[in-house]
Structure 1
Amino acid sequence: MSHQNLLVELFVEELPPKALKKLGEAFANVLAEQLKAQGLSSADSVVTAYASPRRLAAHITQVAPQAADRAVQQKLMPVSVGLDAAGNATPALLKKLAALGADASAVAGLKRAPDGKAEALFYDSVVPGAALQAGLQKALEESLAKLPIPKVMTYQLEADCELPGWTSVHFVRPAHGLVALHGSSVVPLKVLGLTAGNTTQGHRFEAAKPVVTLAHADDYAETLRRDGAVIASFAERRAEIARQLAERAAQIGGGVRPIEDEALLDEVTALVERPNVLVCAFETQFLDVPQECLILTMKANQKYFPLLDAAGKLTHQFLVVSNISPDDASAVIGGNERVVRPRLADAKFFFDQDRKKTLASRVEGLGKVVYHNKLGTQGERVERVRHIARAIAAQLGDATLVEQADLAAQLAKTDLVTDMVGEFPELQGTMGRYYALNDGLPEAVADAIEDHYKPRFAGDSLPRGTVGLVVALADKLETLTGMFGIGNLPTGDKDPFALRRHALGVVRMLIDQQLPLSLSALLSSAVPAFGDKITDATPALADFIYDRLAGGLREQGFSAQEVDAVLALRPQRLSDVAQRLEAVRAFAALPEAAALAAANKRVSNILKKAGEVDAHVSPVLLKEPAEQALYAALQATVPGANQQFEAGDYTASLQALAALRAPVDAFFDGVMVNAEETDLRLNRQGLLKTLHEAMNRVADLARLAS
C-alpha cells in the first residue's frame, strides 16, 4: 500500500456550539501532529479540519501505511560501570542489554563516547516504524484526550459479547459513529466503544440517503454535501452564512445591513449543517424600546441577526439562519416571528415599568445589595466613588464639574436594581443613560452614567466627556484601592475583579486624554474614602499600575530598556510618558549616549555607596582642572536643559546634556572622587549629585548602559 490521503470522522450528538470551532481545529491538529511525530506523515502533509454540529473530522494528505525504520542510539551507563578491569561486561550491563532485547553478543558493538566528565557506553539499534493502524490508533486517542472540552459527559454503552454489563464512556457528547479511511481502505480503529467503518450520517431531515457511504478519503466533503445535505467545513459554512446574510439584506434594500457580530456568526455556524437565511419581522411598536435591549435579546436568546438601517438604527426586520430549506418557508418564518414576540414584549414591559421610578429613588435600594463582604454594600461603594470623583473633578474643572460628577457617581449604579438590567446584566450603564434622560437629567450626567464602565476591554472607546472621565476614573480607582486594601490581588491568570483591566483603563484615560493629574495624588485621594475598612496599599497598587503601563508600552514597540529607563523615575504625569520615551530613543541614537549612560551608571553606584549626599558644590574646593571644567560645563548646560524640560521638550533637554560627555570623561580620568580630605570628598560627591540630578530628569539614563 502506497502513501494515501487519510480521513477520520467522529460522528456524535450535537456538540456545544460555542466550543465547536476550537474542538474541530484541535481534533485535526493534534491528530496530524501525532502522525507526523510517528513518521506516518511529513511536513508537506496538508491538514484540513471539518466541524459541523454533529461531527469532527480531519483530512490529512500523504499518509504512509508504514513509517520508516529509525536508527536509535541509547545511552546505557558509564564505561566504569558497564565494563570490568579486563574489559568484560558486568552483570549490570548484561541486564540492561537484556531489557533492550539484546544479549552478550552486542557488547562488542557498543560505542564509547564522552558524556560530561566520564565516558559512557552507547547502544545502536533500529526501531521498526509504526504501522498505520497502530499509529493512527495512538494518534486518535491522543487527539480525543487533548480536546478542549468545556464539560465532559458520562454515558453508558450497551453490553456486547466481549464486555459483559454496561461500560461507562467519558466524552463531550455521546459518539455514534467512526470513519477511518486511508485512500479507499478502512483502517479498523476502536475508540469510545466504536469500530471504524466507511459510513456516516447526514442532515437529520434533508439527507438524500439515510446512510452516507464514503468511497474514498478525498470524497468526504463532496459526498456529505451531495448525499448528506451537510457542508462539513466550518469555514465554508460560515462564509456561506455571511454571503446569504448580505444577499438577503441587499434584497430588502434601503441600505439595511445585518449587525456585525463575529462571535454570533461563529455560534450560528456551529448550530446548522446547511444554512438557509430567511427574512422575518416584528411589530414596529417594539422599536420604542431602546434598540440595545431588542438587539441583545434577539442575539443572545434567539441567535437572530438584527437589521440596521443606513444610519445604524434598528429596523423591525431581522434575519434567521435556518437549518432546513423547505419549498415554502412561511411556516419557518412565522414560527420564528412568534417566538421572538414574547421576548420583545418582555423587554418593552421592563422598560415601561422601570421608567415609573426615577434613578434617584433607587439610590436607597443599593444599600441592600452586597458588593463585597469586607467592603460593604453597593450603597457604601457609591459613596466612596462620589468622594473620589469630587476630588478628581476639583482638580480638572469648576464647581459645575464637581456637581455633575458627584450626581453621576451617585446614580451610576442605580440601574443595577432595575428590572431591565436584572434580566439583561449586559445593559448596565446603557439603561442608566436612558433612564437618566427620561428623568430630565443633563446629557453630560446621562452620558457619564453609561460611560463610567469604559474602557471595558482593550480597544474600547473612552468616556465621551469630562464628567464621564471623572466618574470612570473614580469607579476604577475605588475598585483597585479597595481590593488591594483587603489583599484581594490577581494571582496567575485569575483576576475575578478584573483589576488588570481596571488598571489599564486608568492608564489609558490618563494618557489618551492628556489629563494633568498626578498618579500618586490620585491613589492617595482614594484611600480616605474607605475609612478603616482597608489597609493603605498605595505603594503596591502604584507598582501594579506601572507594570501594566510597562507592558502596554512594550507592546507599542518601545524596547524594555527604554521603558525601564523612563518608568524607573516613576513619572507622575502619565500623559507625558510617551514624549519621554521618544526623547530617550532620540538620545540613545547620539554618539555620546553610550558613554554618558555608562558614566551615569558609575555615578549612581558612587552615590549609592556614599549614602546621603547633598547636591551642593563649593567652587573654591574645586582643585583639579577636570572638576573645574565639569562644574563650568554644568553651569553652562543645565539651565538651558532644565528650561527645555519645564517646557515639555524632553528631546531637546536630553540632547543639550550630550555636551557633558567630554568633561564627564575627563573628570573620571583625572579626579579621585573619594579623596582622603573630607571637604574635597564631599564636594566632589556633591558635584556628582548635581550631575546626576541634571541628567536624570527625563529618564534614568543608567538603565541604557549595556
Structure 2
Amino acid sequence: MTMTTLLLELFVEELPPKALKKLGEAFAASLADSLKAQGLAPADAAVTAYASPRRLAVQVAGVAAKAADKAQQAKLMPVAVALGADGQPTPALLKKLAALGADASAVPRLKRLPDGKAEALFLDSVVPGATLAEGLQKALAEALARLPIPKVMQYQLADGWTSVNFVRPAHGLVALHGDQVVPVTALGLESGRVTRGHRFEAAVPRISLASADSYAQQLRDEGAVIASFADRRAELQRQLQAAAAAQGLTPIDDEALLDEVTALVERPNVLLCRFEPEFLAVPQECLILTMKANQKYFPLLDAAGRLTSQFLVVSNIRPADASRVVEGNERVVRPRLADAKFFFDQDRKKTLEARVPALAKVVYHGKLGTQGERVERVRAIASSIGQQLGGAALAAQADRAALLAKADLLTDMVGEFPELQGIMGGYYARHDGETEAVAFAVEDHYKPRFAGDALPRSDHGDAGLVLALADKLETLAGLFSIGQLPTGDKDPFALRRHALGVIRMLVERELALDIDALVNIAYDAFPPERIKRNGAELLGFVYERLSGSLREQGYSAAEVDAVLSLRPARLHLVPRQLAAVRAFAALAEAPALASANKRVANILKKAADEPQGEVDAALLREPAEQALAAALAAVAPRADADFERGDYTASLQALAALKAPVDGFFDGVMVNAEDAALRRNRLALLAGLHRAMNRVADLSRLAA
C-alpha cells in the first residue's frame, strides 16, 4: 500500500486578513481529521497547515492510496423471526439481506450467536476501504462546509450561470499524492498540479508542482511566497526586530497586528519610515492607534517606552530601490497624524466640565436613562466607597473624577477612536488644571479593560481604584436589575469582565470592603421605581466568577467550594482562607474531621426544627460527650482567637486536636436519645462543634 505525503491547496482571491490564521488552521485540521477517520491517514500523521493571502493548503504525511478493508459483523434479527419452522429463511430475513446487498445465498454463512435470552443471526462481511480519491473528495467537502467564514461571498463561475458561495472567489485547486494528481472537485474547480506564486514577483506565472513534498520550497523559490503562516510571521518578526535594533529602538508589541500584517503579505519586506517630530506633541496613544488601526504600521518606541517619529511598514514587494515605497507611506500617514492633531487641538478648546451637561442628551440604555444620569449614580457610589477607604478627602477626589469621567465620550478624538475613552479624558483633565489624582482616576477608571490588564494605579492616591469599582458596580447593578444577564457564551455588556474586575481590585489591592455592602450601595444609587433590586442574584454571579478565577489559578474544586460556600463578604481574605484549607487538608486528621463535620451538618439539618440552647454540663452523661465538650472548650477559644487575628491556618490546625474526642463521641454516644433533654443537649454540643469547625471554611466539602 502506497503511503506518501498528500497536498491539497485551494488558490483564491485575497482572503480577509483578520480571519486568515483561523481559516488556515480550521481547513487543515478538518481535512486531516476526516482522512484519519476514514483510515486513509494514521492517527499520528504529521499535519502542516499553510495560509497566505491567496491560498489555503494542507500537507498530511503518510497518506494511503486506499484505506484498509474492514471486517464487520451486522446483527440481522432473532432466529425465531429469521427462520421458519422448516429452517428456511423468512421473507423478513430475505428483505433484510437485500437491504445489506446480499441475497438468499448468504443464509448458510450466517452465524447464530447468543443475544440476551435468545439467539440472533449475524452477517459477517468485509467493507472495502475508501480510495484516496473518494476519501479526499469527502474530506474536502467537509472541510469547506466547516470553515469559520466570517462573511460568505456569492460569485458566478465561468459558465455565467452557476453560483458559488465561499469566502472569496476560488481560481485553482491542487491535489497531489506524492507526485500523482488526485482527481477531486470543489467550488467548480478540478484538481491539478499547477498553482501560482506572488502576484508581482514570482519567477514564473504558473508553478507546476513536482510533488506534494516540494510545495513550500517551490513556492518560495519560484513563486516568491512563504506559504506557511507561522514561517511568514516569524520572518516578519525577525525583520521588525532587526530594523528597530538598527535604530536603537523597539517595535510596538502587538500580537494581533502582527497576525493581521502576516495575513496581508506573501513575502514580507520591512522598511523604515519617518514622520515630522512636531506630531509628537499629540498624545502618543492617539498616534500609535491611528498608525496601527488605519495603516497597519509598527510604531517605534525608545528605551523609555516613548513614541518616536520613526515607524516600520511592511511591504509585499521588494524593489531594488525602495525609496518610492517609503515616500508613499510617509505621505499617506501625514493626513492621519494631522487629523489626530486637529482633534486634539479642537478638543482642548472646551473643558471636560463644560461638556458634562451634554451627557444628559446621550442615551446610555433605554431602561436606565442617559449618560448624565449614569454619571450621578457613579458619583454616589464612588463617594460612598471613597468615604469608607479614605474619608472625606478621598470621597471628594472620587466624586470629582466621577463627574468628569464620561465627558471625553463627547470629544472628537474619542468619537474617532472609541478605544481611547478614559485615556483622552486623563489628558484633557490635566490640560484643564485638574489634580493628578483626578486625572489618573479619569484615565484609569475603565481598568482592568481585559483579562490580565493592569489595575488602576495608586501613584496619586486611590481615586482611580474607587472610581473603577464604582463604574463597574453601577454597570452590574443596573444591567442585572433589568434582566440583561449573560447567556451561554454571549455577554454583550461584558458583565463577566466587570465582575472579574471588581474581584481583582478587592483581592489584589486587599481592600477591606464588604461585597454585600458594595452591591447594596450600587443598588441604592438607582431610583427604586426604575429597577428590580436583585442583589442576591448579582452576588451569586460574582461568586461564580470568583470560583472560576480561583480554579484557573490552581485551587481544587473542593478547596474553592469549602471557602466560597460560606459566602465570605471580604473577598480580599479568600486567598488566605484557601491557603489555610490547603494546609489543613495536608494534616493526617483532616479526612476524619471533614467526614465528621459532614455527619454533624447532616444531623443538625435533620434536627433543624428542634430547639437548641446552650450546652448544660449537668446533662453530659457519657464519658465521650464529656471528653468532646472539654476538648471543644479548650480548642474553640484558641481557634477563634487565631481566626480573629487573621491567622486562618493556625485556626484550622488547632482543630486537629478534636479528632480523637469527635471519633469517640460518634463511637460511644447516641445523639438522638429518647430523653428529649439529653437529645437537645447533644445537638447543642454538635452545633457548637459545627460553628467552631466552619469559621474559615465548610470543612465538610473536603470529605471524600
What TM-score do the two structures reach when normalised by structure 2?
0.97
Per the TM alignment, residue 89 of structure 1 is displaced from its structure 2 partner at its CA by: 2.7
Residues 333-342 or 120-129, more deviating: 120-129
Q: Secondary structure at the match of 1:397?
A: helix
The residue aligned with 1:39 is 39
Q: Secondary structure at the match of 1:6?
A: strand
Per the TM alignment, residue 555 of structure 1 is displaced from its structure 2 partner at its CA by: 1.3
Following the alignment from structure 1 to structure 2, what is the Cα–Cα distance between the partners of residues 16 and 118? 61
Residue 556 (structure 1) aligned to one of 550, 553, 556: 553
The residue aligned with 2:268 is 275
Q: 1:192 is matched by which residue type in structure 2?
A: L
User: Is the Cα contact below 8 Å between 1:615 and 1:687 reproduced in 2?
Assistant: no
Following the alignment from structure 1 to structure 2, what is the Cα–Cα distance between the partners of residues 113 and 366? 81
Following the alignment from structure 2 to structure 1, what is the Cα–Cα distance between the partners of residues 65 and 618? 92
Q: 1:198 is matched by which residue type in structure 2?
A: R
Following the alignment from structure 1 to structure 2, what is the Cα–Cα distance between the partners of residues 380 and 437? 25
The residue aligned with 1:194 is 189
The within-5 A match list for 1:62-461 is 62-115=62-115, 119-159=119-159, 166-252=161-247, 255-461=248-454
Alpha carbons of structure 1 residues 699 and 79: separation in structure 2 relative to 1, 3 Å: farther
Per the TM alignment, residue 117 of structure 1 is displaced from its structure 2 partner at its CA by: 5.8
Alpha carbons of structure 1 residues 187 and 546: separation in structure 2 relative to 1, 3 Å: same
Residue 503 (structure 1) aligned to one of 473, 491, 499: 499
Identity level (%)? 72
Per the TM alignment, residue 334 of structure 1 is displaced from its structure 2 partner at its CA by: 0.9
Following the alignment from structure 1 to structure 2, what is the Cα–Cα distance between the partners of residues 43 and 228? 32
Q: Secondary structure at the match of 1:74?
A: strand
The residue aligned with 1:592 is 589
Per the TM alignment, residue 21 of structure 1 is displaced from its structure 2 partner at its CA by: 0.9
Q: 1:177 is matched by which residue type in structure 2?
A: G
Per the TM alignment, residue 409 of structure 1 is displaced from its structure 2 partner at its CA by: 1.1
Asked if residue 704 in structure 1 is aligned to residue 699 in structure 2, the reply is no
Per the TM alignment, residue 403 of structure 1 is displaced from its structure 2 partner at its CA by: 0.2
Q: Secondary structure at the match of 2:135?
A: helix
The residue aligned with 1:476 is 472
User: Is the Cα contact below 8 Å between 1:12 and 1:174 reproduced in 2?
Assistant: yes
Deviations 1:130-157 (A, max 9, x none): 1121111111111111111111111111
Q: Secondary structure at the match of 1:530?
A: coil
Alpha carbons of structure 1 residues 115 and 568: separation in structure 2 relative to 1, 3 Å: farther
User: Is the Cα contact below 8 Å between 1:154 and 1:170 reproduced in 2?
Assistant: yes
Per the TM alignment, residue 120 of structure 1 is displaced from its structure 2 partner at its CA by: 3.6
Following the alignment from structure 1 to structure 2, what is the Cα–Cα distance between the partners of residues 18 and 116? 57
The residue aligned with 1:162 is none
Alpha carbons of structure 1 residues 579 and 115: separation in structure 2 relative to 1, 3 Å: farther
Q: 1:660 is matched by which residue type in structure 2?
A: L
The residue aligned with 1:11 is 11
The residue aligned with 2:622 is 624
Q: Secondary structure at the match of 2:475?
A: helix
Following the alignment from structure 1 to structure 2, what is the Cα–Cα distance between the partners of residues 85 and 664? 72
Residues 70-79 or 171-180, more deviating: 70-79
Backbone CA RMSD of aligned residues: 1.5
Following the alignment from structure 1 to structure 2, what is the Cα–Cα distance between the partners of residues 357 and 121? 89
Q: Secondary structure at the match of 1:32?
A: helix
Following the alignment from structure 1 to structure 2, what is the Cα–Cα distance between the partners of residues 278 and 205? 18
Q: Secondary structure at the match of 1:169?
A: strand
User: Is the Cα contact below 8 Å between 1:517 and 1:573 reproduced in 2?
Assistant: yes
Residues 288-297 or 408-417, more deviating: 408-417
Deviations 1:554-583 (A, max 9, x none): 111111111111111111111111111111
Deviations 1:80-107 (A, max 9, x none): 4333455443222211111111112222
Following the alignment from structure 2 to structure 1, what is the Cα–Cα distance between the partners of residues 234 and 415? 36
Q: 1:395 is matched by which residue type in structure 2?
A: Q
Following the alignment from structure 2 to structure 1, what is the Cα–Cα distance between the partners of residues 701 and 83? 57
Per the TM alignment, residue 119 of structure 1 is displaced from its structure 2 partner at its CA by: 4.2
Alpha carbons of structure 1 residues 79 and 393: separation in structure 2 relative to 1, 3 Å: farther
Q: 1:99 is matched by which residue type in structure 2?
A: A
Q: Secondary structure at the match of 1:544?
A: helix
The residue aligned with 1:668 is 666
User: Is the Cα contact below 8 Å between 1:10 and 1:55 reproduced in 2?
Assistant: yes
Structure 1 residue runs of 4 or more that deviate by more than 6 Å after TM superposition = none
Per the TM alignment, residue 116 of structure 1 is displaced from its structure 2 partner at its CA by: 5.3
Asked if residue 544 in structure 1 is aligned to residue 537 in structure 2, the reply is no
Following the alignment from structure 2 to structure 1, what is the Cα–Cα distance between the partners of residues 181 and 146? 24
Following the alignment from structure 2 to structure 1, what is the Cα–Cα distance between the partners of residues 109 and 521? 79
Q: Secondary structure at the match of 2:525?
A: helix
Following the alignment from structure 1 to structure 2, what is the Cα–Cα distance between the partners of residues 513 and 80? 77
Following the alignment from structure 1 to structure 2, what is the Cα–Cα distance between the partners of residues 392 and 44? 58
Q: Secondary structure at the match of 2:350?
A: coil
The residue aligned with 1:520 is 516
Following the alignment from structure 1 to structure 2, what is the Cα–Cα distance between the partners of residues 121 and 347? 81
User: Is the Cα contact below 8 Å between 1:155 and 1:168 reproduced in 2?
Assistant: yes
Per the TM alignment, residue 75 of structure 1 is displaced from its structure 2 partner at its CA by: 2.4
Deviations 1:449-482 (A, max 9, x none): 1111111111111111211111111111111111
Q: 2:407 is matched by which residue type in structure 1?
A: T
Q: 1:502 is matched by which residue type in structure 2?
A: H
Deviations 1:287-323 (A, max 9, x none): 0000000000000000000011111111101100001
The within-5 A match list for 1:558-577 is 558-577=555-574
Following the alignment from structure 2 to structure 1, what is the Cα–Cα distance between the partners of residues 425 and 120? 76
Q: Secondary structure at the match of 2:72?
A: strand
User: Is the Cα contact below 8 Å between 1:79 and 1:120 reproduced in 2?
Assistant: yes
The within-5 A match list for 1:605-620 is 605-612=602-609, 613-614=611-612, 616-620=614-618
Following the alignment from structure 1 to structure 2, what is the Cα–Cα distance between the partners of residues 556 and 234? 32
User: Is the Cα contact below 8 Å between 1:615 and 1:689 reproduced in 2?
Assistant: no
Per the TM alignment, residue 4 of structure 1 is displaced from its structure 2 partner at its CA by: 2.7
Per the TM alignment, residue 670 of structure 1 is displaced from its structure 2 partner at its CA by: 2.2
Per the TM alignment, residue 535 of structure 1 is displaced from its structure 2 partner at its CA by: 0.9
User: Is the Cα contact below 8 Å between 1:615 and 1:690 reproduced in 2?
Assistant: no
Following the alignment from structure 2 to structure 1, what is the Cα–Cα distance between the partners of residues 117 and 170? 55
Residues 231-240 or 639-648, more deviating: 231-240
Following the alignment from structure 2 to structure 1, what is the Cα–Cα distance between the partners of residues 522 and 639? 35
Residues 480-489 or 211-220, more deviating: 211-220
Deviations 1:349-405 (A, max 9, x none): 000010111111111111111111110011111111111111111111121100001
Alpha carbons of structure 1 residues 4 and 475: separation in structure 2 relative to 1, 3 Å: same
Following the alignment from structure 2 to structure 1, what is the Cα–Cα distance between the partners of residues 93 and 613? 74
Alpha carbons of structure 1 residues 581 and 112: separation in structure 2 relative to 1, 3 Å: farther
The residue aligned with 2:685 is 687
The residue aligned with 2:637 is 639
What TM-score do the two structures reach when normalised by structure 1?
0.97
Per the TM alignment, residue 109 of structure 1 is displaced from its structure 2 partner at its CA by: 2.3
